[in-house]
Amino acid sequence: MKLTINEVAKLAGVSKATVSRVINESKPVNQDKKEKVLRAIEELQFKPNPVARGLVQKRTGFIGVLIPDITNSFFAEIVRGIECVVQEHQYHIVLCHTFHSHEKEVEHLRMLREKYVDGIVFMTSKVTEAHKRFFSENKLPVTFVNRKCNDLRSFSVDINNYQAAKEITSFFLKRGHRQIAIIRAPLTDRTSGYERFKGYQDALKMYHIPLREHLVLRSTFKIDSAYKAVKRFLNEGYRATAIVATSDLMAIGAIKALIDHGLRIPENVEVSGFDDVPIAMYYNPSITTIRQPIIEIGKTAGEMLIAKIEGINVTEKNIVLPHSIIFRKSTLKSPVLEE
């Protein structure tokens, strides 16, 4: 049998209104009556309905987090960072896996609204008109990770993806590479994925090297997709001396395909990744990559959202965190051949 405040009121010898005031801290209650209510709650092991309580307090203590791929450790680490912060503030996470589907994202957003979450941390490849409509109509605080949306009064946390990709491509160019392939994100990714591709393009332009379409490999962020893209590239007779993968999982798929084709890493082909997820350090060979401060991104996203929920003024709406290149064994440490 589910307990209600009726049983608490009866045991404490007070009215239901008094029990409600104690639970929701909505109005002052005589200390003697308050202690009776608290004793009754403890004796009955009564647990107030958090949503109902939240409606009274205008806050439920729940934050929605939407991620596109729960198997990708990049997103798992982001969630870990968010959780570190929200737990400190006595909030809880409602985690939603969207499978890279915009329809699923809207479906989950509606569900979270019905659950009366206080705000949302959103990771998506593209902010659609349906997303904008939802947030405009519902006025829910939202923080975007790895992209920003200027059309909404939202927050965002990211790195400078354009600059990072330009730097890693320039690293190869400075050392004499001219056949540099890129494994880029799907065309639907119009934010961070596009910015990384643009950084690659502009690095080539600096060295007066034309963009060669056969060196642009398209893949999803999954290992097997990158593996197939590189296998297809090699089977068609194309070659590259370096590959810029726009995620570490893509880099792993690329390395596996190259090795299966009889090529050595990094002696025949050098490969770089992006993100610095934990496996990048332990893969063989360990992967040279762009390090994103992944945990810090999650923490910052959580902090910004909670500040908005609690009415604290946030002056910086779009936070850009620093990145760095981590050199490992998937690239050579050969001298600079050309400046």
Domain boundaries along the sequence of the chain: 64-157+303-321, 161-293
The CATH class that applies to domain 161-293 reads alpha beta
Per-residue pLDDT of the chain (339 residues; tens, 9 = 90+): 567 778 888 888 988 888 778 776 667 888 888 888 888 887 888 776 555 545 445 678 999 999 999 899 999 999 999 999 999 998 999 999 999 898 999 999 999 998 889 999 999 888 888 998 998 888 889 999 988 777 777 899 999 999 999 999 999 999 999 999 999 987 766 678 899 999 999 999 999 999 999 999 999 989 999 999 999 999 999 999 999 999 999 999 999 999 999 999 999 999 999 999 999 999 999 999 999 999 999 999 999 999 999 888 888 899 999 999 999 999 997 554 443
**Which helix (H) or strand (E) is 86 found in, with range?**
helix 73-88
Six-digit token pair at 106? 């809207």
In 3D, which of 130, 132, 175 has the Cα closest to residue 153?
Answer: 132
**CATH number corresponding to 64-157+303-321:** 3.40.50.2300
Phi, psi of 156 (to 5 degrees): -150, 150
- Give the CA distances from residue 122 to residues 83, 127, 184, 248, 301, in Å, rounded to whole numbers and listed in that order: 14, 10, 22, 21, 9
- Count CB atoms within 10 A of the CB of residue 157: 28
Residue at token pair 């350090």 = 281
β-bridge mates for residue 319, sequence order: 157
Residue at token pair 């509606």 = 110
Handedness of CA 224, 94, 63, 129 (dihedral sign): positive
Q: pTM for the complete prediction?
A: 0.82
Domains 64-157+303-321 and 161-293 alike in fold: yes
